[in-house]
Structure 1
Amino acid sequence: MEHLSNKRKLTIMIAIMAAMLFAAINQTITSTAMPRIIAILDGMDLYTWTINIYLLTSTIATVLVGKLSDMFGRKPFLLTGILLFMVGAFLTGTSDNVHQFIFYRGIQGIGAGIIQSTAFTAVGDLFPPRERGKWMGLMTAVFGFSSVLGPTLGGYLIDHLDWHWLFWIFLPLGVVAFVLIMALFPKAKRGESTSIDYLGSLFLTTTIVPLLLAFSWAGTEYDWGSGQILGLLAASVVSALIFVFTETKAKNPILPLHLFKNSVVTVSNLIGFIMNFGMMGALIYLNFFVQGVLGISATYAGYVTMPMSIVMVIASAVTGQLIAKQGKYKRFAMAGVPIMIGGMAIMIFMNSVPVAILSMIVFGLGLGLGMPVFSLATQNAVSHKELGAVTASTQLFRNLGGTIGIAVMGTVMSNNLTKHLKEALTSSPAAQGLSQLDPEVSKQLTAFANPTALMNKPLLEQTQASLPADVQPLFVQMIDGIRDALGQTLSTVFMTGTIVLVAAFILVFFLKELPLRQSNQAAAPAEAESDALAKKLQVE
């Protein structure tokens, strides 16, 4: 596709980014409104499924479509992904009960996974690695922009419109993206081999599904050592062993295992896994700190975390331009990951809004510098015919890292919170006063000894106002003690995330920097080195 005019490439990229924005903002716009939507549908007992189903279907679709798009071209999958996402979004908005909502969210997830996989790979079709960096940076910026606009817009819409419109308002953007890609995106020639690895696809799916479910449910729905979690993990391990055996025999494997013999691919994917492990696992609890510890209302909490996304958007766009200009990528990872570590280290000591904003800015800068690097490095390290498969592997490792990180950090938080709350409720100045109150009043007050209740600022104010004047100071002291306990707990969570990111930084030193190719027709640097070595051995 390098023969296309720059004007046509630019138009196609606008269409691809419109598709990415359509999928990303439909995800972020619901983040603040989802609890209320599920409450309206009377399905709070199935709330985790509304999140898990999207994660499951999008992850599976991302991995399976990667190799298929290498075989049949990106265009049919891009169009299918946009269409499925539009259908899923429309149907989700028509849901009458939570079961319909979950099913339709699953359809959305499939569409999102296909878009996510093929959009990043399509950039590789349109541009050689040397030019690809600036577009990777802009694609990352699209995600950042959606995380800035989505939650705030979602909160506004859920307060002023019927909840169905959250899923319908951006459908015209999907239509525009679909029409542009249909008209402008060139049709690719079918690859030499068209045999589909059905068996590998099956066992890859049966490996991912129980693994994601195990880490999604561990510590919340079931104990880590429960039969359900151990059974899911055992099923995942058995399926993984069968999958590996199947792939060694397959003519056209869905996830070619030889890719992982390439050190750039393996190291980049490990870094992506570890970074998402630490990043998602810690960032998911930022709102607990902003609202629960600092006592900021949900309306204004988004403004505290917004600087991270804004800085990330700018940094990722600039990083992409510099990579394209300099032809080097490792230096940006060497700078970005330590800055991310610094940002998360500041979170350990957060005690005010200015410090929280500073940590967000530093972390966003590191994220913008580092994140575009690893997708580009993996794509540059393999031949163009395997672009889809290697991009899918990158997305898979990042998704797994984020899911496992959230589960592990959740366990770290719950274990430490129990200990700190116990100390707060037994040794605080308010403890003795609470013990002397009427049992019913005491029970009403101690109901706030959990982070979710602390985040409900209107309820806190309402409860305090309803108490007798002599009890109100005790209530304030108790809440302050619980806030301190939550703050100490979250410091431990952020410290764990910092340590995990240090491991990612160590791995960056092992990332081999290969020259960025200036044409998609040239062999991958790693492949060229291998061919040269083989010829040398033949001569000898």
Structure 2
Amino acid sequence: MPGIIAGRTIQGLGAGCNMAMSFVLVVDLAPIKIRPRFQSALVVNFGLANVVGTLIGGVFVDRLSWRWDFWFNVIVGGVAFTLDLILLKETVDLKGVSMKDKLKRIDIMGTLLVIGFVCCLLLALSWGKMYGWGSGHSIGPFVAAGVAFIVLAIVETRVAKEPVVPPDLLLNPSVAIFYMYVFCFGLGFVSTLYYGPIMFQAVFGAGSIESGVRLVPYMSCLIVSSVSSGMMLNKFPYVKFYIVIGAICNIVGFGLFYTVNEYSNWAQQACYIMLCGFSFGLSQQNCLFGVQTCAPKKYIAVATSLNQFFMMLSCAVGVAICDTLFREFLKEEFSSLDPSISSVAAKYGADSNYLYIRDMPPEYQQPVIHLYMAALHKVFTLPLVVAGIAVICALCAKNVKYGANKPPQSLPAQQEKSTTTLDPQKDIEIEQDDTNRTLDNEEIEEKKQASIV
């Protein structure tokens, strides 16, 4: 287990960097007019990867070994590394700048404090269900997370020259509302992505592969709504319209999904979860467009990365909270079960692992299935609540017009590679406006579109 944890930590560092930088590169390389198409493509890839990865993982677990899930990632990661090395070209010339000068620009203290805050928060949520919420294992990390957060705020506002979390962004009400919206959507997304398959397996008896197949409608609607909203954005560029519709669809979808029980048919399950997927695809990238429009130009890259950070943080927090709720509610439900049934469930291990429910004698299975469904119902209260908060955030968001902050007469990154050289004797300040370089000259842009598209 320590080896798995260490490996996943390293993998998470790389994956988090790649996800954030993918969106930042789109900002740098694509003109504003066609940028929605490329960001839609990233969301589509994300959706397809979730579906295909789930299916492949299920096949490996059922037919080969769980270790193949990790070997497969080594192969795919190697291909991605090779493509990045060959195809990506640096747009800023850093020759003549010493490593010391480069390191000075990194907010090392802020980065470590962010990592410490997130780790302590997740440890507190994980250890609370293991050792009890009143134990030192839970209270200690919560206190440490609070201290790390306070120190981080002081460092970012008073110490760091180039803060990793710029206060100007988080104190900007328009940007902060979009971040809150993203965080709420991440909590709902992860509860569906992780606990949807658990429901399919525990309640409806689906296998690993089938539970992945049942997520296909969810991801299909996510892809369709993402692509269609990206195409519509050029015609109607007001992002609030899309995220309000997405938020309303989200709360309706989770409200309907909350009514699913062990007697619901496949059509009900698919239709309800499709609505949730539609809302997520409609909201995710348009929220990012809102952040990029409201943020100061020099913070476009940082604002884009922070949008992904809050999304990933909400997913991590959501998994920890949902797991805690599921375990606590399941324990509570089993405490009220008839002792003769609970003893049989304990004998087969079904009281702690839903995969063993079908190993029990048939006459004992239905009461246990009902308990799992009751526990999952309570877990699905979380995405329903945060969906309501997301609606409030969407209504309070600024009705910005996408692309309204584009600078005049700027050149696209595809057309001209920057040959900027930095003086190591001076404070090295690479203008982050370079990441927002866009084409304002319509004639040149139309010619470029033909070659890009």
- Normalising by structure 2, we get a TM-score of 0.79
Query: Equivalences for 1:55-66 in 2 at 5 Å?
Result: none
With over 3 angstroms needed to count, the CA separation of the structure-2 counterparts of 1:145 and 1:304, relative to structure 1, is same
**Contact 2:334–2:351, Cα closer than 8 Å, also in 1:** no
Q: Could you say which residue in structure 1 is the equivalent of 2:332?
A: 419
Tell me the secondary structure at the aligned position of residue 324 of structure 1. coil
Match of 2:365 among 479, 484, 496: 479
Separation in 1 of the partners of 2:209 and 2:267? 18
Q: Could you say which residue in structure 2 is the equivalent of 1:241?
A: 150
Tell me the secondary structure at the aligned position of residue 318 of structure 1. helix
Tell me the secondary structure at the aligned position of residue 397 of structure 2. coil
Separation in 1 of the partners of 2:321 and 2:333? 18
Number of matched pairs? 398
Tell me the secondary structure at the aligned position of residue 509 of structure 1. helix
1:441-500 residue CA offsets vs partner (Å, 9 max, x unmatched): x8445435746544336xx34x53xxxxxxxxxxx3432112112222222222332122
Q: Could you say which residue in structure 2 is the equivalent of 1:114?
A: 17
Q: Could you say which residue in structure 1 is the equivalent of 2:116?
A: 206
Separation in 2 of the partners of 1:405 and 1:148? 20
Separation in 1 of the partners of 2:237 and 2:37? 11
Separation in 2 of the partners of 1:168 and 1:478? 39
With over 3 angstroms needed to count, the CA separation of the structure-2 counterparts of 1:521 and 1:355, relative to structure 1, is same
With over 3 angstroms needed to count, the CA separation of the structure-2 counterparts of 1:496 and 1:102, relative to structure 1, is closer
Q: Could you say which residue in structure 2 is the equivalent of 1:103?
A: 6
1:176-214 residue CA offsets vs partner (Å, 9 max, x unmatched): 544544444342236999633232223233222212222
**Contact 1:130–1:327, Cα closer than 8 Å, also in 2:** no
Aligned-partner residue type, residue 135 of structure 1? F
Q: Could you say which residue in structure 2 is the equivalent of 1:498?
A: 384
Worse-matched range after superposition: 155-164 or 478-487? 155-164
- Does residue 398 (structure 1) correspond to residue 311 (structure 2)? The answer is yes
**Contact 2:229–2:242, Cα closer than 8 Å, also in 1:** yes
Match of 2:241 among 316, 331, 334: 331
Match of 2:166 among 256, 264, 271: 256
Match of 1:447 among 331, 344, 347: 347
Aligned-partner residue type, residue 326 of structure 2? M
Separation in 2 of the partners of 1:259 and 1:280? 26
**Contact 1:265–1:378, Cα closer than 8 Å, also in 2:** yes
- Does residue 290 (structure 1) correspond to residue 197 (structure 2)? The answer is no
Separation in 2 of the partners of 1:178 and 1:206? 28
With over 3 angstroms needed to count, the CA separation of the structure-2 counterparts of 1:218 and 1:317, relative to structure 1, is farther
Q: Could you say which residue in structure 2 is the equivalent of 1:489?
A: 375
**Contact 1:215–1:407, Cα closer than 8 Å, also in 2:** yes
Deviation at 1:420, TM superposition (A): 2.8
**Contact 2:58–2:212, Cα closer than 8 Å, also in 1:** no
More helix by share: 1
Worse-matched range after superposition: 503-512 or 208-217? 208-217
1:319-376 residue CA offsets vs partner (Å, 9 max, x unmatched): 2121234222211111112112122112211123222112221111111111111112
Tell me the secondary structure at the aligned position of residue 455 of structure 1. helix
Separation in 2 of the partners of 1:131 and 1:519? 15
1:231-263 residue CA offsets vs partner (Å, 9 max, x unmatched): 111111112111111112222222111111222
With over 3 angstroms needed to count, the CA separation of the structure-2 counterparts of 1:163 and 1:273, relative to structure 1, is closer
Separation in 2 of the partners of 1:111 and 1:162? 24
**Contact 1:264–1:381, Cα closer than 8 Å, also in 2:** yes
With over 3 angstroms needed to count, the CA separation of the structure-2 counterparts of 1:478 and 1:266, relative to structure 1, is same
**Contact 1:348–1:490, Cα closer than 8 Å, also in 2:** no
1:101-150 residue CA offsets vs partner (Å, 9 max, x unmatched): 43333222221111112111111111244432222222111111011111
Aligned-partner residue type, residue 268 of structure 1? F
Aligned-partner residue type, residue 403 of structure 1? A
1:374-397 residue CA offsets vs partner (Å, 9 max, x unmatched): 112112222443222212222222
Aligned-partner residue type, residue 153 of structure 2? V
Unaligned 5+ segments in structure 2 are 410-453
**Contact 1:212–1:400, Cα closer than 8 Å, also in 2:** no
Query: Equivalences for 1:59-78 in 2 at 5 Å?
Result: none
Q: Could you say which residue in structure 2 is the equivalent of 1:34?
A: none
Worse-matched range after superposition: 207-216 or 262-271? 207-216
Q: Could you say which residue in structure 1 is the equivalent of 2:216?
A: 306
**Contact 1:297–1:455, Cα closer than 8 Å, also in 2:** no
Q: Could you say which residue in structure 2 is the equivalent of 1:140?
A: 43
Separation in 2 of the partners of 1:129 and 1:263? 24
Deviation at 1:229, TM superposition (A): 1.4
Tell me the secondary structure at the aligned position of residue 267 of structure 1. helix
- Does residue 216 (structure 1) correspond to residue 91 (structure 2)? The answer is no
Deviation at 1:507, TM superposition (A): 0.9
Aligned-partner residue type, residue 154 of structure 1? G
Aligned-partner residue type, residue 133 of structure 1? P
1:504-526 residue CA offsets vs partner (Å, 9 max, x unmatched): 11110111122222785359xxx
- RMSD of aligned C-alpha atoms? 2.8
Tell me the secondary structure at the aligned position of residue 326 of structure 1. coil
Aligned-partner residue type, residue 376 of structure 2? L
With over 3 angstroms needed to count, the CA separation of the structure-2 counterparts of 1:495 and 1:448, relative to structure 1, is farther
**Contact 2:126–2:324, Cα closer than 8 Å, also in 1:** no
**Contact 2:51–2:213, Cα closer than 8 Å, also in 1:** no
Match of 1:456 among 310, 334, 356: 356
Aligned-partner residue type, residue 369 of structure 1? L
Aligned-partner residue type, residue 234 of structure 1? V
- Does residue 317 (structure 1) correspond to residue 235 (structure 2)? The answer is no
**Contact 1:215–1:403, Cα closer than 8 Å, also in 2:** no
With over 3 angstroms needed to count, the CA separation of the structure-2 counterparts of 1:306 and 1:345, relative to structure 1, is same
Separation in 1 of the partners of 2:36 and 2:287? 10
Q: Could you say which residue in structure 2 is the equivalent of 1:367?
A: 280
Deviation at 1:419, TM superposition (A): 3.4
